[in-house]
Structure 1
Amino acid sequence: MEALSGLRIVVQEGDIMHNFALANGLGAKLSLVDTQVDALRDLADGKYDCALVARITALYWIQKYGWDHLTVGTKPLLLPGYCYAVPNNNSALLAQFSEGLKILNETGEFRRIYEEWMGGYKPIAPDFFTILRYAAFVLVPLTVLLLGFLMWNRSLRKQVALRTEALRSSEEFQRAMIECSPIALYSVDIKGRVSSWNASVERVFGWAAEDVMGKPLPIHPDDVKLEIETLRRRIFDGQTIVGMEVVRLRKDGSMFDGSLSVAPIRDKNSEVIGIMGAIEDVTERKRMEAEVRASEEKYRDLFENAPIGIFRTSSEGQSLLVNTTMAHLLGADSPQEALKYYSNLGTQLYFSPERREEFLRLLKENGKVEDFEYEAKTLDGSRLWLAMNASVKERREDGSFLIEGFTSDITSRMQSEDNLRSLTARQEALLAAIPDIIMEVDVNKVYTWANPAGIEFFGSDVIGKEAADYFEGEQKTYQLVQPLFNGHEEVVYVESWQRRKDGKKRLLAWWCNVLKDKNGNPTGALSSARDLTDQRVLEDQFIQAQKMESVARLVGGVAHDFNNMLSVILGYAELALDKVFPDDPLHEDLQEIQEAGRRAADITRQLLAFARRQTIAPKVLDLNEAVEGMLRMMRRLIGEDIDLAWHPHPGLGPVKMDPVQIDQILANLCVNAKDAITDVGKITMETDRVSFDEAYCADHAGFVPGDFVMLGVTNNGCGMTPETLEKIYEPFFT
């Protein structure tokens, strides 16, 4: 260490010599490199004074690269110990390695190798003159003696050496093989005493070699003495026994199952002088075999007694394996009968061979098929529906493969589905034939189903919408049907104004029936509806007709009596006119009485016409001319404060009606307008041509499609209240 002080030293970073230098206070002078060969290269280049490396490494690289100017030290700085290791959990390799080194150690070869490659430093070889000087003192006197001895002994020594080496090599080789063998090997002599006991047999039985060598074999239980005697006789008779199952004893007293192989050991005269045995602990293997047998038996039992059919087939269509249930499904008494019959599944099992092709296609694409349904043929030709799950288990080089899976009979289910489809079809036909609307809602009043009539009324997008989305105007429909959803009622009747898909307002009469689950809790309602709009209009018209009929009877009687009195008045007025002169002041008064009587008679005639007691007298006329003939009288009737505007439509065309009714209509409308106008105002009369289509007539009862002439009268008076508007068609209301 003192010699290293002050030198430039290079060492491999992390090497044992790096740690050594640091521990001995040489850190300040150290330079670090990646490898030992880098350290030697830098030393050879003169960059450093000393390199701390392993002796063997230095000698190897100096020789390889010709660094003859480098000198290896004569004294070691550090003599480390050496060991060997194997991967974890590889105890068998460790045992073999140990046995091999043990053999090398006994032969002395291990020490020679260790000294050569891992030992201390060799002394420096003396130079030639030193050797020659010392050799002269020894070799010259002995040379004469040795020459004679060597000539005589040469041939004998060569022969002995060869035989000895052959014998030694053979024995050492055999002993090394036994010691290194992973198989438990032992041997006994003719008296049953242990003559060899390798490391593997020590691990199996627990006895060390020094415990059993030269002693009787301790591995036999007491109850196998007869077995041992029989075994010895067979061996001494020259037999070799392989793989005999035996039970043997360990040092700790436990038993294990073993597989024993024994053979005789013979001398040069072929006489049996001992027994060589090899034993393997098969306890774990036998346990696993027993578990496998139990598992196979268990799954065999499950396979045979499974409630569903289990099968194995080939992609070519050959049946390879079926269980009892599968055989019974196909009408066979046993699996053997089914396997014998079904040799081509595509034609014998599948009612439709195309389904077999579809099945194989899905298997090739996906490797498995789930819930594949097909119609099958049994042994007697009957049909049944089967559903199977299958998967590919083994693909071969030619493209074929094995198929395994299970099958269940779904014939009853398919029949039930057919019956259900038929029933559903009948129900749908029935619901389609019913003209009434049928709708289903859930507890949130959201439509979940509708029959064709419902779809036609509300539109194809009605499903998923709330019923209130179609309500027209404020209504208490939800309050009326709520008892259904509270579980208090079974059926509720309600009328509701609803919006049709074309936007029209329609009155529907609903019969709502509650829907309940198995626990009796309401889940929704199923309701039928009928459009009452047209019926309600007819009912209103009928009621109006009844009112008009009652009024007509009353008016007819009054008008008839009044007409009789008018006849008397007009008669006497005419007689009085005949008795006075035209210039008489009474003549003009009598004319006024006569004119008023005639007007009253016209009104009476209209009342009788209204009462259906006098026929009206319609005739073809020009409506514009008829109105213009009334304008003078209308202006006198409404007074000077009200402006009367007249807007005739040119080319109006003729109409056929009673002109007296025109006079009555205009007079009544103008008088009503006058009553509605305070102070000054305006009344407008106009004519026009209009056309009514079917859509307009559908929403206006009493209208028919076609071309018509319109007479319109408007005013800027105060108008009518809603209550008055509802009664404008009641006779004599105003």
Structure 2
Amino acid sequence: MIKKVIALIKDTNHQILMDTLPFLVCKFKRNGTITYVNKTCLLFHQKEEQDVLGSNRLFFVHETEQKKVLKGFSSIKSSSDEYKFEETVLGSNGTEYSLEWILKGIFSRTGKFIEFVAIGTDVTKRKQIENIALNRTQLIEALLNNSHLGFAINDISTGRVLFINQAFKRAYKVPDSACKSVSDFISYVYQNRMNSYGKKIYDDILSANPTRMNWQNIPIIDHDGTVSYISAMNIPITTQGLMISTVWDVTEHKLAEEALKISEIKFREIFENVPIPYYEVSLDGKLLAISPAIKRISNYTEEELIGMSLINLYANPIEREQFLKELFSKKELNDYEIQLKDKDGVIKPVSLYVKLISDENGVPTKIIGSMLDISERKEMEKLMRAADKMDSLDLLVGGLAHDMNNILSVVIGISELGKFANTESDENLTRFIQINQAGKRAADIISQLLAYNKPADEINLKLININKLIKNTVTYIHERFKSVKTVCKLDNNQLPVKGNLKSLERVLLNIIMNATQAMTDTPLKNLTFTTHNIELTQATVQGHTELAPGKYCVISITDTGSGIPKKDLEKIFTPYFTTKEKGTGLGMHVVNNIVTKQHNGAISIKSEVGIGTTVSIFLPTVIP
């Protein structure tokens, strides 16, 4: 196109055609004097031909660009030379325009320079578009360079890095020298910063498989051994032969994740091993979470309870309504007592420590808390109440015994006088003797009542032959309980014990009475008595913590009765505990007191439902 325009310029017959060209065309001498301009050029500059011809070409060039134009003038040495340049001109309306010029020289056949011809094109719109594109590119580069995300673009075919921002370099901890090509980058990073982990990533990149170019939590090792973590992703743009790489630092997230994991493990260890059950429950009563300790209270496993309605565990469902009413009022409850029903239907008292949890808008969402089995506490409270009753009973018994002794002393005294006042043949003598004997027996019973709570050093203790005591008791059984068969396996070398005969008789009779009642409905009614000596050392005494090391007589009484359930066996010595309709609940309590307090011994009971019960009494022996 340029050659055709120059040909037209040389041919003056085509001046009219030149004026119709869309290009700006002008001719000027080496000194810049303009010799020709076409109409397109005149219209662009809003000038008349006479105003332009003869003027200097540099007149239309901006001062800052004149050196550039003059350089072009001097560079044209032959007709084949060509000089391109751009210039900014100010239009008549004050608007700046961008012109792109191609400068050629016109030479004679002999090579003599004649003049310059310049062909210009208005590229204002193109420059505006380029500027817009440049501004956008610069904006994008600025955004990328200031982004916390790392970005890099490289040419897939050559491996040349076209763009890389500072965040990318920081993430991989690479210097500028390692960012010129992909090979330099891979060599530096994957060999110096990732060790063996880098080989997998390197293989993924070489595969050019997009599904393999997404990596999470890559460890990056700094020169000082510090480890950081990044995640990265490569996206190949195959249509343009480009690879876009993105990387972001996830060290804080990774460390927080690990810290959270450690915290969760610790919480889980505490949650699973804490002896007090912790739970979370929805407002409608569904259990959301509960610790394994709940099994100790409810006999349910976690799996059985999750999703279960808590109301099913309440012994009294009305308590649930009262509990919720108070919780919603106070938001938090401490030591709130309710009764729960375990898997076997056993009712247990528990104490709740709960809090109402609300969302950011203050709307209640769930209840969290812990529960404490207070069965032992309740039992202790019951024992304390019983102890108070016993103290009161002791005072009452003491007072009654004192009054009764006063009365009995009169009865016994008068009966003694009556015996001396009557002859043997007198009918009244027999009556006085009977009155005297009954009075003495009553006095003896009162003496036992006063003595049963007294320690050993305050009662009358004597050497007792335990085998003889058992034989006398067996005689009583034969007379009273005809259907009971007795078996005695007594140690002939049994050492004597120091004790109160009446109190020990009472112990044996109380145990025998319980045994015979337990055998009421059993076809086999056997009662076996055994005695033997035993020596407890510091080591063997561990099973009998209430006993001191030494020699003991062991009396065992075994029946073939119905047996005692485990839950009742634990309470057998508790005051006022009884399973009999007309029982007082004091029998075994008195037995235990006599053995332990009066005789410094111990008592143990083993029982199996449907098989029978064995009561063993340990009493300290003495060498006569």
Please indicate the TM-score interval, normalised by the length of the shorter structure. 0.5 to 0.7
- Rounded Cα–Cα distance in structure 2 between residues aligned with 1:444 and 1:298: 57
Structure possessing the higher relative contact order (Cα contacts under 8 Å, 6 or more residues apart)? 2
Residue of structure 2 equivalent to 1:293: 134
Kindly tell me: are residues 574 and 423 of structure 1, through their superposed partners in 2, closer, same or farther at Cα, counting changes over 3 Å? farther
Residue of structure 1 equivalent to 2:316: 473
Q: Residue 579 of structure 1: SS of its match in structure 2?
A: coil
Q: CA contact under 8 A between 2:415 and 2:432: conserved in structure 1?
A: no
- Rounded Cα–Cα distance in structure 1 between residues aligned with 2:154 and 2:567: 71
- Rounded Cα–Cα distance in structure 2 between residues aligned with 1:187 and 1:319: 47
Kindly tell me: are residues 685 and 420 of structure 1, through their superposed partners in 2, closer, same or farther at Cα, counting changes over 3 Å? closer
Residue of structure 1 equivalent to 2:193: 349
Letter of the 2:412 partner, please give it.
Answer: S
Is 1:567 the counterpart of 2:388 in the alignment? no
Q: What pairs with 1:230-379 in structure 2 (closer than 5 Å)?
A: 288-312=129-153, 320=161, 321-329=163-171, 335-336=176-177, 342=185, 343-350=187-194, 352-354=195-197, 357=200, 361=204, 367=211, 372-378=216-222
Aligned partner (choices 11, 17, 22) of residue 190 of structure 1: 11
- Rounded Cα–Cα distance in structure 1 between residues aligned with 2:102 and 2:507: 142
Is 1:404 the counterpart of 2:251 in the alignment? no
- Rounded Cα–Cα distance in structure 2 between residues aligned with 1:611 and 1:566: 27
Q: CA contact under 8 A between 1:509 and 1:530: conserved in structure 2?
A: yes
Q: What pairs with 1:65-214 in structure 2 (closer than 5 Å)?
A: 190-191=11-12, 193=14
Shift of 1:473: 2.8
TM-score (norm 1): 0.47
Kindly tell me: are residues 323 and 525 of structure 1, through their superposed partners in 2, closer, same or farther at Cα, counting changes over 3 Å? same
- Rounded Cα–Cα distance in structure 2 between residues aligned with 1:422 and 1:712: 53
- Rounded Cα–Cα distance in structure 1 between residues aligned with 2:320 and 2:139: 67
Kindly tell me: are residues 290 and 218 of structure 1, through their superposed partners in 2, closer, same or farther at Cα, counting changes over 3 Å? same
Q: Residue 224 of structure 2: SS of its match in structure 1?
A: coil
Shift of 1:345: 2.0
Residue of structure 2 equivalent to 1:707: none
User: CA offsets, 1:134-168, max 9 Å, x none?
Assistant: xxxxxxxxxxxxxxxxxxxxxxxxxxxxxxxxxxx
Letter of the 1:324 partner, please give it.
Answer: Q
Kindly tell me: are residues 457 and 291 of structure 1, through their superposed partners in 2, closer, same or farther at Cα, counting changes over 3 Å? farther
Aligned partner (choices 547, 555, 569) of residue 389 of structure 2: 547
- Rounded Cα–Cα distance in structure 2 between residues aligned with 1:685 and 1:434: 46
Aligned partner (choices 338, 346, 351) of residue 509 of structure 1: 351
Residue of structure 2 equivalent to 1:658: 505
Contiguous gaps of at least 5 residues in structure 1: 1-177, 206-215, 248-253, 266-276, 632-645, 671-683, 704-710, 714-718
Shift of 1:547: 1.6
Shift of 1:366: 5.4
Aligned partner (choices 472, 479, 487) of residue 629 of structure 1: 479
Name the stretch that deviates more: 461-470 or 359-368: 359-368
Q: Residue 555 of structure 1: SS of its match in structure 2?
A: helix
Residue of structure 2 equivalent to 1:638: none
Kindly tell me: are residues 391 and 729 of structure 1, through their superposed partners in 2, closer, same or farther at Cα, counting changes over 3 Å? same
User: CA offsets, 1:102-122, max 9 Å, x none?
Assistant: xxxxxxxxxxxxxxxxxxxxx
- Rounded Cα–Cα distance in structure 2 between residues aligned with 1:292 and 1:503: 81
Letter of the 2:369 partner, please give it.
Answer: S
Letter of the 1:381 partner, please give it.
Answer: D
Kindly tell me: are residues 658 and 426 of structure 1, through their superposed partners in 2, closer, same or farther at Cα, counting changes over 3 Å? same
Aligned partner (choices 236, 244, 248) of residue 393 of structure 1: 236
User: CA offsets, 1:476-501, max 9 Å, x none?
Assistant: 35534644434x45553311223456
Q: CA contact under 8 A between 2:333 and 2:352: conserved in structure 1?
A: no
Letter of the 1:580 partner, please give it.
Answer: S
Letter of the 2:197 partner, please give it.
Answer: E
Residue of structure 2 equivalent to 1:72: none
Q: CA contact under 8 A between 1:608 and 1:614: conserved in structure 2?
A: no
Q: Aligned Cα RMSD in Å?
A: 6.4
Shift of 1:532: 1.8
Shift of 1:502: 6.5
User: CA offsets, 1:315-344, max 9 Å, x none?
Assistant: 99x994531233345566x64466598533
Residue of structure 2 equivalent to 1:135: none
Kindly tell me: are residues 550 and 349 of structure 1, through their superposed partners in 2, closer, same or farther at Cα, counting changes over 3 Å? same
Shift of 1:623: 8.7
Q: Residue 302 of structure 2: SS of its match in structure 1?
A: coil
Q: CA contact under 8 A between 1:439 and 1:450: conserved in structure 2?
A: yes
- Rounded Cα–Cα distance in structure 2 between residues aligned with 1:623 and 1:358: 93
Kindly tell me: are residues 467 and 299 of structure 1, through their superposed partners in 2, closer, same or farther at Cα, counting changes over 3 Å? same
User: CA offsets, 1:23-73, max 9 Å, x none?
Assistant: xxxxxxxxxxxxxxxxxxxxxxxxxxxxxxxxxxxxxxxxxxxxxxxxxxx
- Rounded Cα–Cα distance in structure 1 between residues aligned with 2:340 and 2:6: 102
- Rounded Cα–Cα distance in structure 1 between residues aligned with 2:6 and 2:346: 106
Kindly tell me: are residues 661 and 598 of structure 1, through their superposed partners in 2, closer, same or farther at Cα, counting changes over 3 Å? farther
Q: CA contact under 8 A between 2:281 and 2:289: conserved in structure 1?
A: yes
- Rounded Cα–Cα distance in structure 2 between residues aligned with 1:712 and 1:492: 35
Q: Residue 367 of structure 1: SS of its match in structure 2?
A: helix
- Rounded Cα–Cα distance in structure 2 between residues aligned with 1:622 and 1:370: 95
Q: Residue 470 of structure 2: SS of its match in structure 1?
A: strand
Aligned partner (choices 554, 557, 561) of residue 689 of structure 1: 561
User: CA offsets, 1:278-328, max 9 Å, x none?
Assistant: 999978766654443333222222222223322357999x99453123334
Letter of the 2:378 partner, please give it.
Answer: R
Letter of the 1:568 partner, please give it.
Answer: G
Q: Residue 629 of structure 1: SS of its match in structure 2?
A: helix
- Rounded Cα–Cα distance in structure 1 between residues aligned with 2:563 and 2:510: 25
Q: What pairs with 1:385-464 in structure 2 (closer than 5 Å)?
A: 385-393=228-236, 402=243, 404-408=245-249, 410-417=250-257, 435-441=275-281, 446-451=286-291, 453-454=293-294, 457=297, 459-461=301-303, 462-464=305-307
Q: CA contact under 8 A between 1:438 and 1:451: conserved in structure 2?
A: yes
- Rounded Cα–Cα distance in structure 2 between residues aligned with 1:373 and 1:663: 78
Letter of the 1:629 partner, please give it.
Answer: E
Kindly tell me: are residues 347 and 239 of structure 1, through their superposed partners in 2, closer, same or farther at Cα, counting changes over 3 Å? closer
Name the stretch that deviates more: 492-501 or 218-227: 218-227
Kindly tell me: are residues 550 and 391 of structure 1, through their superposed partners in 2, closer, same or farther at Cα, counting changes over 3 Å? same
Aligned partner (choices 213, 221, 224) of residue 381 of structure 1: 224
Q: Residue 507 of structure 1: SS of its match in structure 2?
A: strand
- Rounded Cα–Cα distance in structure 2 between residues aligned with 1:315 and 1:627: 109
TM-score (norm 2): 0.54
User: CA offsets, 1:608-646, max 9 Å, x none?
Assistant: 465556789984369997556336xxxxxxxxxxxxxx9
Residue of structure 2 equivalent to 1:580: 425
Contiguous gaps of at least 5 residues in structure 2: 24-36, 61-68, 89-94, 107-117, 491-502, 526-559, 588-624
- Rounded Cα–Cα distance in structure 2 between residues aligned with 1:261 and 1:478: 96
- Rounded Cα–Cα distance in structure 1 between residues aligned with 2:7 and 2:315: 107
Work out the percentage of aligned pairs sharing the same amino acid.
15
Shift of 1:404: 0.9
Give the aligned length: 475
- Rounded Cα–Cα distance in structure 2 between residues aligned with 1:219 and 1:314: 44
